[in-house]
């Protein structure tokens, strides 16, 4: 009986060690770099897209520029984090400064809200891909939110869309060979907030956001490695 107890404890110990090993293997660090080396906390990293589009049943929304500056909280971690206090979506549609293009309602001004937003970079070993997760203000609605105001329509002329998060993916390079930090958003669903003031009758129930982002800081291009 004593022998079986010892064997049982040994098996349990091996299983416990296996769990620790698997857990450790899955916690792969992300390291963000620029031309000077590992980027220190407190640095502003700006993600910019020039092809972001929100597809809806009522038409598409396109802005020439989408800029998200974020202050880095940490680096060389399994979860690299940053925070943002603004995001700018703008263009010059029909020569109107700041206006974005819509295919059904003409020029629109975009306002993002519910800051600060938070960003988290991590590596998902089971999928062999990096992920960027953007979330809204934890003290507010906890939503990522933007409002389109259609300049060619009389009030009510707004559509307010929200999402619990924006999920994007990127491909970090191996140790010693960092790859440019470029991430892709694919069909991220935003839901219409029907209770938002000034909601226009033309507003569709949802939109799907897609596009690619490149990242820079004051030293130029930002890259990522494992």
Cis upstream peptide for 154 (omega within 30°): no
Q: What is the pLDDT of residues 112-133, one digit of tens each?
A: 988 999 999 999 999 999 999 9
Number of domains in the chain: 1
Predicted pLDDT of residue 26: 56
Q: What is the pLDDT of residues 39-57, one digit of tens each?
A: 999 999 999 999 999 999 9
Q: What is the DSSP string of 123-163?
A: EETTTTEEEEEEE--TTTT--EEEEEEETTSPSS-EEEEEE
Higher pLDDT, 75 or 17: 75
* Closest residue by Cα to residue 48 from 180, 202, 206: 180
- On whether residue 168 sits in a domain, the answer given is yes
Find the range with the poorest average confidence among 7-21, 25-39, 63-77.
7-21
Of the pLDDT bands very low, low, confident and very high (cuts 50, 70, 90), residue 22 is very low
Cis upstream peptide for 156 (omega within 30°): yes
CA angle 139-143-144, nearest 5°?
120
Of the pLDDT bands very low, low, confident and very high (cuts 50, 70, 90), residue 6 is very low
* Closest residue by Cα to residue 179 from 171, 189, 168: 171
- On whether residue 218 sits in a domain, the answer given is yes
Residues 208, 76: Cα–Cα separation, whole Å: 32
- On whether residue 217 sits in a domain, the answer given is yes
Q: Give residues with Cβ within 8 angstroms of 91, minimum separation 6.
A: 62, 63, 64, 65, 98, 99, 100, 101
* Closest residue by Cα to residue 215 from 163, 164, 180, 175: 180
- On whether residue 14 sits in a domain, the answer given is no
Residues 117, 69: Cα–Cα separation, whole Å: 10
Distance of CA 157 to the CA centre of its chain: 27
- On whether residue 129 sits in a domain, the answer given is yes
- On whether residue 83 sits in a domain, the answer given is yes
- On whether residue 50 sits in a domain, the answer given is yes
Q: Yes or no: say if 64 and 100 are a contact pair by the CB < 8 Å rule.
A: yes
- On whether residue 105 sits in a domain, the answer given is yes
CA angle 155-113-194, nearest 5°?
45
Q: Yes or no: say if 41 and 76 are a contact pair by the CB < 8 Å rule.
A: no
Domain that residue 195 falls in: 29-225
Bridge partner residues of 93 (DSSP)? none
């Amino acid at each position: 009986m004593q022998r079986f107890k010892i064997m049982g404890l040994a098996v349990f110990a091996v299983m416990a060690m296996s769990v620790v090993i698997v857990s450790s293997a899955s916690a792969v660090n992300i390291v963000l770099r620029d031309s000077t080396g590992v980027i220190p906390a407190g640095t502003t990293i700006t993600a910019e897209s020039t092809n972001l589009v929100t597809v809806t049943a009522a038409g598409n929304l396109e802005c020439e520029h989408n800029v998200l500056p974020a202050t880095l909280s940490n680096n060389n971690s399994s979860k690299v984090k940053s925070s943002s206090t603004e995001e700018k979506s703008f263009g010059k549609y029909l020569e109107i400064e700041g206006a974005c293009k819509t295919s059904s309602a003409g020029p629109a001004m975009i306002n993002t809200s519910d800051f600060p937003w938070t960003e988290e970079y991590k590596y998902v070993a089971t999928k062999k891909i990096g992920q960027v997760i953007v979330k809204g203000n934890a003290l507010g609605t906890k939503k990522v939110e933007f409002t389109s105001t259609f300049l060619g329509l009389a009030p009510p002329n707004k559509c307010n869309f929200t999402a619990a998060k924006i999920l994007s993916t990127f491909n970090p390079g191996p140790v010693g060979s960092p790859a440019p930090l470029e991430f892709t958003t694919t069909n991220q669903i935003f839901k219409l907030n029907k209770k938002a003031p000034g909601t226009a009758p033309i507003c569709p129930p949802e939109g799907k956001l897609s596009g690619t982002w490149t990242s820079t800081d004051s030293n130029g291009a930002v890259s990522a490695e494992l």
